[in-house]
Structure 1
């Protein structure tokens, strides 16, 4: 495996999620056969792995921790001169010394929102410092995460690497009409949220805001796309959010169908909020970038690094994700002014093409390797 890159990661498809998509996108854009991925098992992984142009080695369980057994399996995949990439620095970055001893010549670690949270806690901060000490390069998503990581990880090791967006897949006209027809939405105004259903993402706030939106924009539909532990509580809350049919929850949809679900909306909204004193925080929010690529104006919460994914007043609006009235106001402003919303979506698309395309991100990643 000499001269090939070993990616060690807990976050990898077919498990859904933004980090998973980020790491997969990096691997997929390396030359065929130049990457080996070591990741946990997940439902459907055999079919997924068979389609990849590189080898995927699956851990026996659905979670990898920095144990001796995981270190041994990872070390067996390393040959002299290899580069090792940790898909998330914490906690698997603790394996770096063992993989260095096994022959890794260079170690790159990606960080996301949870590493920024670790940097805020005294005990976890010490662990993160140990993790960073084993790396040649530690990446950060944006200014928010850089600011928190700098006191813990030496600044010369920090390099910005944010997710890319597939502008060929996420684009205006990606299949929204088909989704609207399948869900019976017709030509009604649609606010769409594509995200895992967990409290931080703010779908509960959208439901509290929705009656206020319907007062100004009767007939509007809230489309919640995704699965997660909050689904049952959200479904119970739908009854109080408006007339029957004014809220649609799809559950999880196949990855290939996500662009069409974005395209079914007129406005994208995910009013994320920080929780537990800032320990549960949004690192960036790839969904905002995917929505912009699809030509939608976005309404984002002000949690963590989410504002780095929106140009406030240009590609969307950043609001207090804890306030259902603020969220409702932003949604109403955009739904009631289609020309303004359309212009924001067009500026968002142009921004993504210029700054967030995968070709640019892949080139940055290649330089780090």
Structure 2
């Protein structure tokens, strides 16, 4: 069996979905994967290092239109692929019936968070139903996204839904992954540190962390907030830190190389990303791979209650789930964990054990393998 991944989301473009799909692709049997994805800065160097062929679309976005279909058909035929994985079922899954006619015997559509939003909009809802009817299996991240999408799908498509979530490489993300060097780099040695690793956008809740920080400092003097990542919200967040009088204890790293991410998690004592749903449910957290990576690194997590984020936390065991719009609840959770290092460490240890038990990449890759052969 050889599988064609058709996806807009693939490295070197950064992001959680990209990491998810790459993690699945590299764990398929040797010689069994071909990827068709858009062009992106640095793609040539990245592609040369992959254990499978990557065919790049001329532009940076692929839509379900004739040019993309034609190229996908060409790759399917030239590479001898007999199955297709749509890296994000919406919208490229609309190509499924045509690719089936061209010889794809098995089609799987992977969903994330935005498909749950599609289920709420009349036109998008109808398209999602078409996608569900066109593939052999439609995956879901957790119960939240499953239930939202099921409302839009036909009964037959609902019966074919299957759980498939990102995995975590517990050998890469682990306690002692280099946090001391990151702390020294930013002048944080010896200080209690809450870390957030995420793109800087309103949904992720970094502003709630900054609003909460004066309260945290009253309980844990000397604590620091390490915000890892870039994004369009950065200037607003910097101004907010100044206006709240906490700019001296909030560190912005900007975007960091992927290979440094484990060390940045490891630089924290607590991980926090109080995400919240926006735009009447259209902008929602599908799962939150960052929570799982933080748990693998041995950190307790403070997660927002948006969408499927609670599926990535065992509330009260591996972390705390709080309303992302409640600054008071965010501050309480952070202060509680930072003020109790022993309790936070025990919670992080339980998180690490949970990752090893249920979230390793090998488990998720085996699930995809089953979907492709059922």
Determine which of 16, 41, 50 is the counterpart of 1:18. 16
Where 2:55 maps in the other structure, the secondary structure is strand
CA distance in 1, matches of 2:81, 2:36: 18
Matched, 1:150 2:150: yes
**Residue in 2 that maps onto 1:306:** 309
Determine which of 350, 360, 363 is the counterpart of 1:360. 363
In structure 2, list runs of 5 or more residues that go unmatched.
none
What is the CA-CA distance between 1:150 and the residue it aligns to?
1.7
CA distance in 2, matches of 1:124, 1:100: 22
**Residue in 2 that maps onto 1:278:** 281
Determine which of 187, 200, 218 is the counterpart of 1:215. 218
**Residue in 1 that maps onto 2:33:** 35
**Residue in 2 that maps onto 1:44:** 42
- Tell me whether 115-124 or 66-75 shows the greater mean CA deviation: 115-124
CA distance in 2, matches of 1:345, 1:6: 38
CA contact (8 A) 2:213 2:246 kept: no
CA distance in 2, matches of 1:243, 1:225: 17
What is the CA-CA distance between 1:54 and the residue it aligns to?
0.3
What is the CA-CA distance between 1:229 and the residue it aligns to?
1.1
What is the CA-CA distance between 1:187 and the residue it aligns to?
1.2
Matched, 1:85 2:85: yes
CA contact (8 A) 1:81 1:105 kept: no
**Residue in 2 that maps onto 1:121:** 121
CA contact (8 A) 1:176 1:263 kept: yes
- Counterpart mapping for 1:216-365 below 5 A: 216-365=219-368
Where 1:13 maps in the other structure, the secondary structure is coil
CA distance in 1, matches of 2:316, 2:291: 14
In structure 1, list runs of 5 or more residues that go unmatched.
none
What is the CA-CA distance between 1:4 and the residue it aligns to?
1.1
**Residue in 2 that maps onto 1:135:** 135
Where 2:307 maps in the other structure, the secondary structure is coil
Please list the CA deviations of residues 217-271 of structure 1 after superposition, one character each: whole Å capped at 9, or x if unmatched.
1111100001111112112222134445300011111111100000000000000
- Counterpart mapping for 1:173-188 below 5 A: 173-188=176-191
Where 1:107 maps in the other structure, the secondary structure is strand
CA contact (8 A) 2:4 2:81 kept: no
CA contact (8 A) 1:292 1:352 kept: yes
What is the CA-CA distance between 1:72 and the residue it aligns to?
0.5
CA distance in 2, matches of 1:241, 1:32: 53
Please list the CA deviations of residues 292-315 of structure 1 after superposition, one character each: whole Å capped at 9, or x if unmatched.
000000000000000000011000
Matched, 1:69 2:78: no
RMSD between aligned residues:
1.1
